[in-house]
Homo-oligomer: A and B are copies of this chain.
Amino acid sequence: MSLLIVGSIALDSVQTPFGSNADALGGSAVFFSYAASLLHPVQVVGVVGDDYPSDALDRLAERGVDMRGVVRVQGESFRWKGKYSYDLQNRETLETRLGVFAEFKPRIPDEFRDADYVFLGNIDPGLQLSVLGQIHLPKLVACDTMNYWIHSKRDAVLELLGRIDVLMVNDAEARELSGDWNIYRAARWILEHGPKIAVIKQGVYGAVLVEENGIFYVPAFPLEQVFDPTGAGDSFAGGFMGHLARTEDLSSANLRAAMVYGAAMGSFAVERFSIQRFQEIGVAELSERVHQFGDLVRFEVEPSLEVK
Contact = CB atoms under 8 A, between A and B. Distances in A.
Contact of A307 (B40, B182, B217, B219): B40
A12 B210 CA distance: 35
A185 interface: yes
A253 interface: yes
Given A182-B224, A246-B307, A283-B307, A216 B38 contact: no
A301 B305 contact: no
A115 interface: no
Interface string A170-201: 00000000000110110010000000000000
Contacts of A308: 246
A186 to B, nearest CB: 10
Interface string A158-169: 000000000000
Q: How many copies does the complex hold?
A: 2
A214 interface: yes
Interface string A3-29: 000000000000000000000000000
Contact of A257 (B206, B296, B301): B301
A218 B219 CA distance: 8
A294 B305 CA distance: 14
A67 interface: no
A304 interface: yes
Contacts of A217: 206, 219, 222, 296-297
Contact of A226 (B39, B182, B300, B305): B182
A145 B296 CA distance: 26
Secondary structure dominating the interface of A: mixed
Contacts of A87: 181-182
A19 to B, nearest CB: 17
A185 B224 contact: yes
Contacts of A224: 182, 184-185, 188
Interface stretch (A75-83, A93-101, A105-113, A285-293): A285-293
A36 to B, nearest CB: 11
Contact of A286 (B214, B253, B294, B305): B305
Contact of A297 (B39, B184, B297): B297
Nearest to A304: B287
Interface of A: 38-40, 86-87, 181-182, 184-185, 188, 202, 205-206, 208, 214-219, 222-226, 246, 253, 256-257, 259-261, 283, 286-287, 290-291, 293-301, 304-305, 307-308
6 contacts: A184-B223, A219-B219, A256-B300, A257-B300, A259-B299, A260-B299
The 6 closest A-B pairs by CB, nearest first: A287-B305, A256-B299, A205-B205, A87-B181, A297-B297, A217-B219
